Chain A
Amino acid sequence: MKKLLALTLLLSAAGLGVAGSKTNRTVYISGNWVSGSLGGARNSGDTTQYIGCYVYGNEASNFKSMYCSARDVSGTHLNCYSDAPAVVDIAGRLNSDSFLQFTVNTAGDCMSIRVDNYSYDVPKQ
Protein backbone atom coordinates (compact mmCIF):
# COMPACT_ATOMS: atom_id res chain seq x y z
CA MET A 1 0.00 0.00 0.00
CA LYS A 2 2.84 2.36 0.89
CA LYS A 3 4.60 1.55 -2.37
CA LEU A 4 1.47 2.36 -4.32
CA LEU A 5 1.11 5.69 -2.52
CA ALA A 6 4.75 6.59 -3.16
CA LEU A 7 4.41 5.71 -6.80
CA THR A 8 1.31 7.88 -7.09
CA LEU A 9 3.08 10.84 -5.51
CA LEU A 10 6.08 10.38 -7.77
CA LEU A 11 3.95 10.34 -10.89
CA SER A 12 2.04 13.41 -9.75
CA ALA A 13 5.26 15.32 -9.17
CA ALA A 14 6.55 14.27 -12.55
CA GLY A 15 3.33 15.46 -14.12
CA LEU A 16 3.72 18.88 -12.54
CA GLY A 17 7.29 19.06 -13.74
CA VAL A 18 6.44 18.85 -17.42
CA ALA A 19 3.58 21.35 -17.44
CA GLY A 20 4.84 23.52 -20.27
CA SER A 21 8.24 24.74 -21.43
CA LYS A 22 10.33 26.58 -18.85
CA THR A 23 13.48 28.62 -19.33
CA ASN A 24 15.69 30.02 -16.62
CA ARG A 25 17.53 32.90 -18.25
CA THR A 26 20.01 34.37 -15.84
CA VAL A 27 21.86 37.66 -16.40
CA TYR A 28 24.36 37.51 -19.21
CA ILE A 29 26.59 40.47 -20.12
CA SER A 30 28.71 40.55 -23.25
CA GLY A 31 30.38 43.83 -24.14
CA ASN A 32 27.67 46.45 -24.50
CA TRP A 33 24.88 43.91 -24.46
CA VAL A 34 22.96 42.36 -21.58
CA SER A 35 20.05 39.98 -21.28
CA GLY A 36 18.24 38.04 -18.63
CA SER A 37 14.85 37.41 -17.15
CA LEU A 38 13.77 39.03 -13.93
CA GLY A 39 12.66 35.67 -12.58
CA GLY A 40 15.87 33.96 -13.67
CA ALA A 41 18.01 36.54 -11.90
CA ARG A 42 15.89 36.48 -8.79
CA ASN A 43 15.79 32.69 -8.59
CA SER A 44 19.50 32.21 -9.29
CA GLY A 45 21.61 30.54 -6.65
CA ASP A 46 23.90 33.54 -6.16
CA THR A 47 23.17 36.81 -4.43
CA THR A 48 24.91 38.97 -7.02
CA GLN A 49 22.96 39.17 -10.23
CA TYR A 50 20.01 41.36 -10.94
CA ILE A 51 18.46 43.05 -13.96
CA GLY A 52 15.74 45.64 -14.47
CA CYS A 53 14.77 49.18 -15.32
CA TYR A 54 12.98 52.05 -13.73
CA VAL A 55 10.72 54.29 -15.76
CA TYR A 56 10.42 57.90 -14.69
CA GLY A 57 7.97 60.65 -15.59
CA ASN A 58 8.10 64.32 -14.71
CA GLU A 59 4.95 66.28 -15.41
CA ALA A 60 6.47 69.63 -14.47
CA SER A 61 9.33 69.29 -16.93
CA ASN A 62 7.22 67.29 -19.39
CA PHE A 63 9.51 64.37 -20.08
CA LYS A 64 9.84 60.68 -19.34
CA SER A 65 12.98 58.65 -19.03
CA MET A 66 14.34 55.31 -17.92
CA TYR A 67 17.43 53.81 -16.42
CA CYS A 68 18.28 50.14 -16.89
CA SER A 69 20.79 48.32 -14.79
CA ALA A 70 22.14 44.79 -14.63
CA ARG A 71 24.85 42.84 -12.85
CA ASP A 72 25.88 39.31 -13.74
CA VAL A 73 27.13 36.58 -11.46
CA SER A 74 30.74 37.74 -11.83
CA GLY A 75 29.86 41.26 -10.65
CA THR A 76 30.09 42.98 -14.03
CA HIS A 77 27.70 45.92 -14.39
CA LEU A 78 25.99 47.42 -17.38
CA ASN A 79 23.84 50.53 -17.03
CA CYS A 80 22.19 52.95 -19.41
CA TYR A 81 19.86 55.91 -19.51
CA SER A 82 17.37 57.09 -22.12
CA ASP A 83 14.71 59.73 -22.56
CA ALA A 84 13.81 58.60 -26.08
CA PRO A 85 10.08 57.78 -26.08
CA ALA A 86 10.61 54.80 -28.43
CA VAL A 87 12.84 53.20 -25.82
CA VAL A 88 11.12 54.40 -22.65
CA ASP A 89 7.75 53.10 -23.78
CA ILE A 90 9.14 49.60 -24.27
CA ALA A 91 10.66 49.63 -20.80
CA GLY A 92 7.19 50.33 -19.49
CA ARG A 93 6.11 46.90 -20.75
CA LEU A 94 8.29 45.14 -18.21
CA ASN A 95 6.54 43.04 -15.63
CA SER A 96 7.90 41.03 -12.74
CA ASP A 97 8.51 37.92 -14.88
CA SER A 98 9.70 39.55 -18.12
CA PHE A 99 12.84 38.80 -20.05
CA LEU A 100 14.86 41.96 -20.67
CA GLN A 101 17.62 42.76 -23.12
CA PHE A 102 19.29 46.11 -23.76
CA THR A 103 22.33 47.54 -25.43
CA VAL A 104 24.45 50.48 -24.34
CA ASN A 105 26.77 52.86 -26.13
CA THR A 106 29.96 54.32 -24.72
CA ALA A 107 28.13 57.50 -23.70
CA GLY A 108 25.84 55.56 -21.36
CA ASP A 109 22.78 55.81 -23.57
CA CYS A 110 20.41 52.88 -24.01
CA MET A 111 20.57 52.15 -27.71
CA SER A 112 17.92 49.44 -27.80
CA ILE A 113 15.66 47.56 -25.47
CA ARG A 114 13.68 44.38 -25.81
CA VAL A 115 11.04 43.03 -23.45
CA ASP A 116 9.70 39.49 -23.75
CA ASN A 117 6.62 38.33 -21.92
CA TYR A 118 6.56 34.58 -22.55
CA SER A 119 5.08 31.74 -20.56
CA TYR A 120 8.36 29.84 -20.45
CA ASP A 121 10.35 32.43 -18.52
CA VAL A 122 10.33 31.28 -14.94
CA PRO A 123 8.45 33.54 -12.53
CA LYS A 124 9.97 34.90 -9.38
CA GLN A 125 9.75 32.49 -6.49
Chain B
Amino acid sequence: MKRHALTALALVAAFVIGRLTLAADSSATHTERVVERQPIERRIVQTSSSSTSSLTADEVRSIVNEALAAREPAAEPPKPVDTAVLSQAQAVVATSIASGRWTAADREQLRAVMDHLSKDQMREVMTSLARAINDGRVKLETDGSPV
Protein backbone atom coordinates (compact mmCIF):
# COMPACT_ATOMS: atom_id res chain seq x y z
CA MET B 1 0.00 0.00 0.00
CA LYS B 2 2.77 2.36 0.89
CA ARG B 3 4.47 1.43 -2.31
CA HIS B 4 1.45 2.43 -4.39
CA ALA B 5 1.19 5.73 -2.57
CA LEU B 6 4.82 6.56 -3.36
CA THR B 7 4.33 5.68 -6.99
CA ALA B 8 1.26 7.93 -7.24
CA LEU B 9 3.16 10.71 -5.51
CA ALA B 10 6.03 10.34 -7.94
CA LEU B 11 3.66 10.55 -10.90
CA VAL B 12 2.01 13.68 -9.53
CA ALA B 13 5.42 15.25 -8.90
CA ALA B 14 6.57 14.44 -12.43
CA PHE B 15 3.40 15.95 -13.88
CA VAL B 16 3.79 19.16 -11.88
CA ILE B 17 7.52 19.51 -12.83
CA GLY B 18 6.70 18.94 -16.51
CA ARG B 19 4.03 21.64 -16.58
CA LEU B 20 6.31 24.11 -14.89
CA THR B 21 9.13 23.42 -17.39
CA LEU B 22 6.79 23.80 -20.37
CA ALA B 23 5.46 27.09 -19.11
CA ALA B 24 9.00 28.44 -18.73
CA ASP B 25 9.95 27.42 -22.33
CA SER B 26 6.85 28.92 -23.92
CA SER B 27 7.41 32.25 -22.20
CA ALA B 28 10.94 32.33 -23.63
CA THR B 29 9.82 31.86 -27.25
CA HIS B 30 7.30 34.69 -27.27
CA THR B 31 9.61 37.58 -26.76
CA GLU B 32 8.03 40.87 -27.63
CA ARG B 33 10.07 43.54 -29.23
CA VAL B 34 9.23 47.05 -28.47
CA VAL B 35 10.63 49.59 -30.87
CA GLU B 36 10.41 53.13 -29.91
CA ARG B 37 10.74 55.74 -32.60
CA GLN B 38 12.41 58.90 -31.68
CA PRO B 39 10.32 61.82 -32.84
CA ILE B 40 12.15 63.76 -35.55
CA GLU B 41 12.60 67.26 -34.71
CA ARG B 42 11.50 69.37 -37.65
CA ARG B 43 13.42 72.46 -38.10
CA ILE B 44 11.89 75.40 -39.72
CA VAL B 45 14.40 77.73 -41.24
CA GLN B 46 13.19 81.16 -41.77
CA THR B 47 15.07 83.60 -43.88
CA SER B 48 14.37 87.12 -44.54
CA SER B 49 15.30 88.97 -47.71
CA SER B 50 17.68 91.12 -45.80
CA SER B 51 19.64 88.19 -44.46
CA THR B 52 20.13 85.99 -47.66
CA SER B 53 22.97 87.88 -49.14
CA SER B 54 24.49 91.19 -49.23
CA LEU B 55 25.29 90.82 -52.98
CA THR B 56 23.49 92.95 -55.48
CA ALA B 57 22.00 91.57 -58.69
CA ASP B 58 24.83 93.09 -60.69
CA GLU B 59 27.40 91.42 -58.48
CA VAL B 60 25.71 88.03 -58.88
CA ARG B 61 25.56 88.55 -62.62
CA SER B 62 29.24 89.41 -62.66
CA ILE B 63 30.17 86.28 -60.70
CA VAL B 64 28.13 84.06 -63.01
CA ASN B 65 29.66 85.64 -66.09
CA GLU B 66 33.15 85.15 -64.69
CA ALA B 67 32.41 81.49 -63.99
CA LEU B 68 31.07 80.95 -67.50
CA ALA B 69 34.03 82.72 -69.03
CA ALA B 70 36.38 80.47 -67.10
CA ARG B 71 34.60 77.35 -68.44
CA GLU B 72 34.37 78.22 -72.12
CA PRO B 73 37.28 79.29 -74.26
CA ALA B 74 36.87 82.72 -75.65
CA ALA B 75 35.41 82.67 -79.12
CA GLU B 76 37.75 83.82 -81.80
CA PRO B 77 36.82 87.17 -83.21
CA PRO B 78 35.55 86.87 -86.77
CA LYS B 79 38.21 87.33 -89.36
CA PRO B 80 37.95 90.51 -91.31
CA VAL B 81 36.39 89.89 -94.68
CA ASP B 82 38.74 90.60 -97.54
CA THR B 83 36.49 92.25 -100.08
CA ALA B 84 39.37 92.66 -102.53
CA VAL B 85 39.73 88.90 -102.82
CA LEU B 86 36.01 88.52 -103.36
CA SER B 87 36.09 91.16 -106.07
CA GLN B 88 38.97 89.35 -107.74
CA ALA B 89 37.14 86.00 -107.68
CA GLN B 90 33.91 87.56 -108.85
CA ALA B 91 35.73 89.28 -111.69
CA VAL B 92 37.15 85.96 -112.91
CA VAL B 93 33.71 84.41 -113.04
CA ALA B 94 32.01 87.51 -114.47
CA THR B 95 34.59 87.81 -117.23
CA SER B 96 34.17 84.19 -118.19
CA ILE B 97 30.39 84.52 -118.28
CA ALA B 98 30.71 87.58 -120.48
CA SER B 99 32.99 85.72 -122.85
CA GLY B 100 30.97 82.52 -122.65
CA ARG B 101 34.09 80.45 -121.92
CA TRP B 102 35.63 78.96 -118.82
CA THR B 103 39.22 78.06 -119.51
CA ALA B 104 42.00 76.34 -117.59
CA ALA B 105 43.53 79.77 -117.01
CA ASP B 106 40.27 80.95 -115.39
CA ARG B 107 40.30 77.90 -113.18
CA GLU B 108 43.86 78.61 -112.07
CA GLN B 109 43.01 82.21 -111.25
CA LEU B 110 40.08 81.10 -109.15
CA ARG B 111 42.10 78.44 -107.38
CA ALA B 112 44.72 81.04 -106.52
CA VAL B 113 42.27 83.10 -104.47
CA MET B 114 40.07 80.32 -103.12
CA ASP B 115 41.95 79.94 -99.85
CA HIS B 116 41.38 83.60 -99.01
CA LEU B 117 37.62 83.52 -99.42
CA SER B 118 35.29 83.37 -96.46
CA LYS B 119 32.55 80.78 -96.33
CA ASP B 120 29.93 83.17 -97.69
CA GLN B 121 32.24 84.51 -100.36
CA MET B 122 33.13 81.01 -101.49
CA ARG B 123 29.45 80.13 -101.71
CA GLU B 124 28.68 83.21 -103.77
CA VAL B 125 31.48 82.62 -106.26
CA MET B 126 31.06 78.86 -106.63
CA THR B 127 27.31 78.87 -107.02
CA SER B 128 27.46 81.66 -109.60
CA LEU B 129 29.93 79.60 -111.62
CA ALA B 130 27.87 76.43 -111.24
CA ARG B 131 24.71 78.26 -112.34
CA ALA B 132 26.43 79.68 -115.40
CA ILE B 133 27.70 76.26 -116.45
CA ASN B 134 24.40 74.49 -115.79
CA ASP B 135 22.47 77.14 -117.72
CA GLY B 136 24.81 76.85 -120.68
CA ARG B 137 25.95 80.47 -120.44
CA VAL B 138 29.53 79.30 -120.10
CA LYS B 139 31.18 76.64 -122.18
CA LEU B 140 33.69 74.57 -120.28
CA GLU B 141 37.08 74.38 -121.91
CA THR B 142 38.83 72.70 -119.02
CA ASP B 143 39.96 69.14 -118.76
CA GLY B 144 37.79 67.79 -115.99
CA SER B 145 36.36 69.78 -113.12
CA PRO B 146 35.89 73.53 -113.66
CA VAL B 147 37.38 74.27 -110.23
Q: Do A and B bind each other?
A: yes
Does the CB pair A65–B145 fall under 8 Å? Answer: no
Chain A count of residues within 8 A CB distance of the other chain: 24
- Assess the A83–B122 pair: CB atoms within 8 A: yes
Chain B residue with the shortest CB-CB distance to A56: B114
Q: Are A50 and B144 in contact (CB under 8 A)?
A: yes
Q: Which residues of A contact B117 (CB under 8 A)?
A: 61
Taking a contact as CB atoms closer than 8 A, the residue among B115, B123, B140 that contacts A71 in the complex is B140
Residue in A58, A60, A81 whose CB lies within 8 Å of B123? A81
Question: Is B104 close to A, CB under 8 A?
Answer: no
Q: Does A98 contact B (CB under 8 A)?
A: no
| Chain B, interface SS category | helix
Name B129's contact: one of A71, A79, A106 (CB within 8 Å): A79
B130 to A79, Cβ gap below 8 A?
yes
Determine the residue in chain B with the shortest Cβ distance to A63: B119
Indicate if the CB atoms of B146 and A69 lie closer than 8 Å: yes
20 A-B pairs whose Cβ atoms sit less than 8 Å apart in the complex? A58-B119, A58-B122, A61-B79, A65-B119, A67-B130, A69-B147, A77-B133, A77-B134, A77-B140, A79-B134, A79-B146, A80-B134, A81-B123, A83-B119, A104-B134, A107-B131, A108-B126, A108-B129, A108-B131, A109-B127
- Chain B: residues with CB nearer than 8 A to chain A? 79, 114-115, 117-119, 122-123, 126-131, 133-134, 140, 144-147
